[in-house]
Amino acid sequence: MMSNASGIESLSDESRLCVERLVRAGNELEKLDLSDQPREKLAAVLVLLYQKAGELRVVLTTRSKLLRAHPGQTSLPGGKVDESDPSLTYTALREAHEEVGLALDCPHIHTVCVLRPFLSSSQLLVTPVVALLTDLDVLATLRPCVGEVDQIFSHPLEAILDPSLLADKEPLVPKGSEHWPYQQELYNTSDVIVEAFDNFVYRMHRFRSCASPIKGLTADILIHVAEIAYDKKTAYEVCAPGQAGAALALIRLRMAQYKGLVTSS
């Protein structure tokens, strides 16, 4: 895990506080024990942060349009656990290596924390692994895996809390284009009933970016990370009425169901 000797001393005061809060959250927040869950139901994603111009940014990808699942959508590097993976942290790093060419043994990648899992629409328990990149030269070595990733890009983490921070700050995809067909300038949301989530009402967040919109599970994970890092709430309502308690309850329900699969096998 992150230590004072891991490049944190080179961060701005605000970025350092963000990383320290994430480290503390990883140690203090409630853990959900996934050790008794079937491995085929587990996945992990890498929330790779780095500082540029005094602010934290997160590395994202646009999935290939050739993929069957979620083609052309924004995602965090990551994927399902392999039988040989020794940990969820390794899974996230291995998938990042496969998808964007991040070296598995990169000395400039420092694990900050592992957060509680999220439930994907495909019913996977997805664990976010937050890491800090301390040498920006590594970014120039990243290459999208042909057939899996169309584009690698980044987004300011704090703008996930308040999309207005993006205004006139950096180039974004044109409004009305394929990647931002919405009327709103920077942020769009809608409440939908999701059958995969046992028909509870789910709030879909969409953030305009320099590439594909950040939405769905990726947005949910980044909201959680950003709220911890900056110790403040979003400029918008995160949950639909009744969603907050239902989401965590559904994760616990799926864990109990999956544990039953292991017990009965």
Per-residue pLDDT tens digits for 208-249: 999 999 999 999 999 999 999 999 999 999 999 988 888 899
- Cα–Cα distance measured from residue 128 to residue 117, given in angstroms and rounded to the nearest whole number: 7
Report the share of the chain in percent with pLDDT over 90: 84
* Beta-sheet strands, E only, within 173-232: 187-194, 200-207, 214-215
Closest CA to 106 of 28, 25, 202, 6: 6
* Beta-sheet strands, E only, within the chain: 42-52, 55-63, 74-75, 78-80, 109-114, 118-119, 125-133, 149-156, 187-194, 200-207, 214-215
Task: Give mean pLDDT, residues 68-95.
Answer: 93
In a domain, 196, yes or no: yes
In a domain, 210, yes or no: yes
In a domain, 228, yes or no: yes
Task: Give mean pLDDT, residues 119-129.
Answer: 96
In a domain, 226, yes or no: yes
Report the share of the chain in percent with pLDDT over 70: 96
Read off the tokens for 86: 């020794």
**Residue 202 belongs to a domain with what CATH number?**
3.90.79.10
Q: How confident is the model at residue 2 (pLDDT cuts 50, 70, 90)?
A: low
For 36-70, the pLDDT digits (tens) are 999 999 999 999 999 999 999 999 999 988 777 77
Rounded to the nearest integer, the mean pLDDT of the chain is 93
Say what the pLDDT of residue 167 is: 85
Say what the pLDDT of residue 71 is: 80
In a domain, 87, yes or no: yes
Check whether 33 has a pLDDT greater than 70: yes
For 160-216, the pLDDT digits (tens) are 999 999 988 889 999 999 999 999 999 999 999 999 899 999 999 999 999 999 999
In a domain, 175, yes or no: no
Number of domains within the chain: 1
Range of the domain at 84: 5-170+180-263
The CA angle 143-87-82, to the nearest 5 degrees, is: 65
In a domain, 164, yes or no: yes
Q: How confident is the model at residue 4 (pLDDT cuts 50, 70, 90)?
A: very low
